[in-house]
Amino acid sequence: MSEQKEWTRANAEAYWKRNIRMITVLLIIWGLVSYVAAIFLAQPLYTIKLGQLPLSFWFAQQGSILIFVLLIFVYCWLMDRLDREYGLSE
Amino acid sequence: MSVEVWTYIIVGITFAAYIYIGYSNRVRDTKGFYVAGQGVPAVANGAAIAADWMSAASFISMAGLISFLGYDGAIYLMGWTGGYVLLALLLAPYLRKFGKYTVPDFVGDRYYSQFARVLAAVATVIVSLTYVAGQMRGVGIVFSRFLGVPINIGVLIGMVVVAIFAVLGGMKGITWTQVAQYSVLIVAYLIPAIAIGIVITGIPIPQLAFTFGDIVPKLNMAQLSHDFAVEYTQPFQTKPMLDVLAITLALMFGTAGLPHVITRFYTVPSVRAARYSAGWALLFIAILYTTAPAVATFARYNLFQTLDDAVITNITPGEKQDLYELAYSGEVKDANGDPVFEAGAPVTWATSWQETGLLAFVDKNDDGKIFFGPGTAFSPTKNFKSPNADSENETYFDRDIIVLANPEVAQLAPFVIALVAAGGLAAALSTASGLLLAMSSAVSHDIYFRVIKPSASERDRMIAGRSMILVAVILAGYFGIRPPGFVGQVVAIAFGLAAASNFPPILLGIFDKRTNARGAISGLVVGFGFTLIMVLLMKSVQIFGTSEPIIKSFYGISAEGIGTIGMLLNLIIAYTVSHLTAPPPQEIQEMVENVRLPSGAGQAAAH
């Protein structure tokens, strides 16, 4: 506890801003792999193949789900780093 | 040993295990009862969330539904997984930091309003009740299909088992039982999927077999050669793009607003563990959800393959349907060297599943073979005595058969079939128990303790909690035995209302300090009211028994997707009203700042 940065309101705001920035970036990816790749671009991406599947179909039934899992673990890892930097590790 | 004996043995062992786990984790205090003493490790909580999440419908019906919907099955695949990203990034860590027991706890405290608390509690009860009645019915259906027990007796058996471990163990007993239930259901799902994947493609991992095996191109070809207008993988064949979009959004935001899921994030020891448990939960869910579309294509292709070659060897007229005996064809050459088809080995699964009414044939053109193509074989669909003259299709199959008959189609050992029965029961019981706890805590904790009698002693609160869970079990069992029209509308009602009522006030409560009681309540009333009315009007045929739906759709958006509009209305109104009226009191704003930081420094920041 003694090594922890002195906690100030400015610190809290900086921490929150960086958190929001990470959330924004990750949610943009979340929307791109599901709503854009599997719904809006369903027809254009249909002609491209991934393995034996049309690319949009792969995003719709496999890819988006796998990327969702990755996004959460990436967020966990980024927040672990941020918490450590601000001395907020539990 | 026969399938039935195996089923009794495996179901018996798993049920005994659930009751034992519930008993050995019995609790004495309210913290244990509502949030498992906040001592659940992240991985265990992840498995519990996954079991809580994956219902009888996910286990039994989803693959069949996808094989019927093709590309558009993505609404369920993405909709029921994408919400966990929202939970992990936007809600779970902050709710864990807030650290009370329920969703209405947060809404009531953050908006310093008993009215908001009661409103959230009512939404929780409606959402959970709709959902849980279907689960109890699911238990009955699994019992009847695998053991020939009447559905109602199956529901009663399920009620007794759930009552024992939920009343004794509360959240703690439920959590550890769910961990066991997850293990049973995922093993039961994967074994047949892997076996069939190997038979069809030679690749032992279903996801890889699906992506890199040639099964999907083959299915697409089979589909075209059977008079279907388009390939299996073509998007938007069952729903327009706008509706697919709205339904996927409603399912994702609904997931993030479902009380029985949110409550689980209160049970872990820290904010960090709350984040990780969302990750583990989605990983465990994804194992089943990425296997389901593979199973859907394997099974659909198998159906084409089997029926293409099969010949009818015997037809026994029956009262409800004629029973067809089929056999794989054995090709021989006649005197001129031309191929002639003779009956080979019998297709046993086709015979046994006709007896359950999930499969039916009619040889309309009397060619001694069965054709499977577009359109419905019978009209009305489930009257197996009246062939539909407008379609050449000669096959009716219930979507549930895709998972239920899979082990038999792939000719797996009887104990695997028994395992599938145990898996279906595990999925139904685990979801039911989580919902029952959410329902009973909304009444015993949020309404009784927080609103009616704040002076209640710990002992009184435990009695209230346990008796409410018992009442909830009886209510759910009653609706399971006599399902009213709304029970079948889980997706529209439970997810739509959860998206439109719970998600916005929690999100704004964390990310917008300025949102006040007036804004939150206006948003909640409008979002909840709009969605409920729209669903009732669009689903009036199923719910009220009208002959036509009162409204067909809302500008092209169906009842399943209407929660998206309700949620947007809620967000816009809550935000606008809040910013036009006075800001919330200072201590509430400090509470929000405190919730945003993980625990250690949280206290420091508040000083």
The yes-or-no verdict on residue B485 having pLDDT over 70 is yes
Q: Cα–Cα distances in Å, from B345 out to B112, B193, B242, B329?
A: 71, 24, 48, 8
Scan for tokens 């809550």, then name that residue.
Answer: B574
Please give the Cα distance from A41 to A29 (Å, whole number): 15
Scan for tokens 């990436």, then name that residue.
Answer: A74
Q: Is position B408 within any domain? A: no
Q: Is position A1 within any domain? A: no
Please give the Cα distance from B418 to B438 (Å, whole number): 31
The yes-or-no verdict on residue B547 having pLDDT over 50 is yes
Residue B63 class from Cβ within 10 Å (0-12 exposed, 13-18 middle, 19+ buried)? buried
Tell me the HSE value of B285 on the side-chain side, using a 13 A CA sphere.
Answer: 31
Please give the Cα distance from B60 to B75 (Å, whole number): 17
Q: For each of chain A's 90 residues, which pLDDT tens digit applies?
A: 434 445 677 888 999 999 999 999 999 999 999 999 999 999 999 999 999 999 999 999 999 999 999 999 999 999 999 999 988 876
A51 CB neighbours in chain B (<8 A) are 211-212
Quick: pLDDT tens for B8-25: 999 999 999 999 998 999
Shortest Cα–Cα distance, A25 to chain B (Å):
11
Helix crossing, B414-441 with B458-481: angle to 10°?
130
Mean pLDDT of chain B: 89
Please state the φ and ψ torsions of residue B397, each to the nearest 5 degrees.
-135, 135
pLDDT bracket for residue B331 (50, 70, 90): low
Residue span of the structural domain in which B160 resides: 3-27+34-301+413-602
Shortest Cα–Cα distance, B458 to chain A (Å):
30
**Whether residues B434 and B581 fall in one domain:** yes
Q: Is position B407 within any domain? A: no
B298 CB neighbours in chain A (<8 A) are none
Q: Is position B405 within any domain? A: no
Average pLDDT over every residue of B478-482: 89
CB contact (8 A) between residue A43 and residue B235? yes
- The CB density around residue B20, as the number of other CB atoms within 10 Å, is 14
Q: Is the dihedral of CA A12, A15, A18, A22 positive or negative?
A: negative
Residue span of the structural domain in which A81 resides: 9-85
CB contact (8 A) between residue A60 and residue B66? no
Please give the Cα distance from B74 to B290 (Å, whole number): 11
Please give the Cα distance from B24 to B2 (Å, whole number): 33
The kind and range of the H/E element at B411 are: none
Average pLDDT over every residue of B328-348: 73
**Whether residues B268 and B378 fall in one domain:** no
Average pLDDT over every residue of B104-114: 95
Please give the Cα distance from B205 to B214 (Å, whole number): 14
**Whether residues B366 and B456 fall in one domain:** no
**CB-based contacts of B585, cutoff 8 Å, min separation 6:** B112
B601 reaches A (C-beta below 8 A): yes
CB contact (8 A) between residue A88 and residue B598? yes
Average pLDDT over every residue of B164-171: 88
Q: Which two tokens stand for residue B302?
A: 């198998």
Q: Which amino acid is residue B133, in one-letter code?
A: A
CB contact (8 A) between residue A68 and residue B286? yes
B545 reaches A (C-beta below 8 A): no
Average pLDDT over every residue of B87-95: 96
Quick: pLDDT tens for B550-607: 988 898 899 999 999 999 999 999 999 999 999 999 999 999 999 999 865 333 333 3
Say how many Å lie between the first and final Cα of chain B, rounded.
Answer: 69
**Whether residues B193 and B124 fall in one domain:** yes
pLDDT bracket for residue B267 (50, 70, 90): very high
**Whether residues B9 and B130 fall in one domain:** yes
B475 reaches A (C-beta below 8 A): no
Shortest Cα–Cα distance, A34 to chain B (Å):
7
The yes-or-no verdict on residue B341 having pLDDT over 70 is no
Q: How many domains are contained in chain A?
A: 1
Scan for tokens 């994947």, then name that residue.
Answer: B197
CB contact (8 A) between residue B601 and residue A87? yes
ipTM confidence: 0.94
Helix crossing, B271-309 with B74-86: angle to 10°?
170
Among the listed residues B468, B603, B449, B596, the one whose alpha carbon sits nearest the alpha carbon of residue B97: B596
CATH number of the domain that B289 lies in?
1.20.1730.10
Q: Is position A18 within any domain? A: yes
B211 vs A50, A64, A90: nearest CB? A50
Are the C-beta atoms of B436 and B131 separated by less than 8 Å?
no
**Whether residues B321 and B249 fall in one domain:** no
The yes-or-no verdict on residue B537 having pLDDT over 90 is yes
Please give the Cα distance from B590 to B42 (Å, whole number): 28
CB contact (8 A) between residue A60 and residue B241? no
Scan for tokens 């409008």, then name that residue.
Answer: B526
B343 vs B239: which has the higher pLDDT: B239
**Whether residues B419 and B328 fall in one domain:** no
Q: Is position A2 within any domain? A: no
CB contact (8 A) between residue B77 and residue A76? no
Please enumerate, as own/partner, the contacts of B384-389 that have beta carbons within 8 Å and a separation of 24 or more: B384/B320, B384/B321, B384/B322, B384/B357, B384/B360, B385/B320, B385/B321, B387/B362, B389/B364
**Whether residues B99 and B19 fall in one domain:** yes
**Whether residues B380 and B496 fall in one domain:** no
Residue B603: per-residue pLDDT: 38
DSSP track, B256-304: TT-HHHHGGGGGSSSHHHHHHHHHHHHHHHHHHHHHHHHHHHHHHHHHH
Residue B600: per-residue pLDDT: 52
Please state the φ and ψ torsions of residue B541, each to the nearest 5 degrees.
-60, -50
Query: Which runs of consecutive H residues, i.e. helices, occur in B395-516?
Result: 401-404, 406-409, 414-441, 458-481, 490, 496-497, 503-511
**Whether residues B95 and B244 fall in one domain:** yes
- The CB density around residue A2, as the number of other CB atoms within 10 Å, is 3
Are the C-beta atoms of B404 and B145 separated by less than 8 Å?
yes
Residue B209 class from Cβ within 10 Å (0-12 exposed, 13-18 middle, 19+ buried)? buried
Q: How many domains are contained in chain B?
A: 2
Average pLDDT over every residue of B213-234: 91
Please give the Cα distance from A39 to B515 (Å, whole number): 33
Residue B310: per-residue pLDDT: 82
Q: Which amino acid is residue B58, in one-letter code?
A: S
Please give the Cα distance from B176 to B9 (Å, whole number): 22
Q: Is position A90 within any domain? A: no
The yes-or-no verdict on residue B47 having pLDDT over 60 is yes
Residue A6: per-residue pLDDT: 55
What are the b/e assignments for B476-513, b being 16+ CB within 10 Å?
bbebbbeeeebbbbbbbbbbbbbbbbbbbbbbbbbbbb
Quick: pLDDT tens for B430-457: 999 999 999 999 999 999 999 999 999 9
**Whether residues B377 and B268 fall in one domain:** no
A68 CB neighbours in chain B (<8 A) are 81-82, 84-85, 282, 286
Please give the Cα distance from B447 to A67 (Å, whole number): 40
Q: Is position B321 within any domain? A: yes
CB contact (8 A) between residue B241 and residue A42? yes
DSSP letter for B554, please: B
CB contact (8 A) between residue A52 and residue B215? yes
Q: Which B-chain residues 168-207 have CB contacts (< 8 A) with chain A?
A: 207
Q: Is position A35 within any domain? A: yes
A76 vs B81, B279, B289: nearest CB? B279
Q: Is position B121 within any domain? A: yes
Q: How far is CA B533 from the centre of its chain?
A: 23
Q: Is position A4 within any domain? A: no
CB contact (8 A) between residue A52 and residue B604? no
Residue B602: per-residue pLDDT: 36
Strand partners, B343: B329
Q: Cα–Cα distances in Å, from A30 out to A64, A65, B252, B256, B340?
A: 8, 10, 11, 14, 56
Please give the Cα distance from B483 to A1 (Å, whole number): 57
Q: Is position A68 within any domain? A: yes
Q: Is position A40 within any domain? A: yes
Question: Taking CB atoms and an 8 Å cut-off, how many pairs form between chains A and B?
Answer: 145
Q: Which two tokens stand for residue A23?
A: 């959330």
DSSP letter for B584, please: P
Residue B185: per-residue pLDDT: 95
CB contact (8 A) between residue A34 and residue B605? no
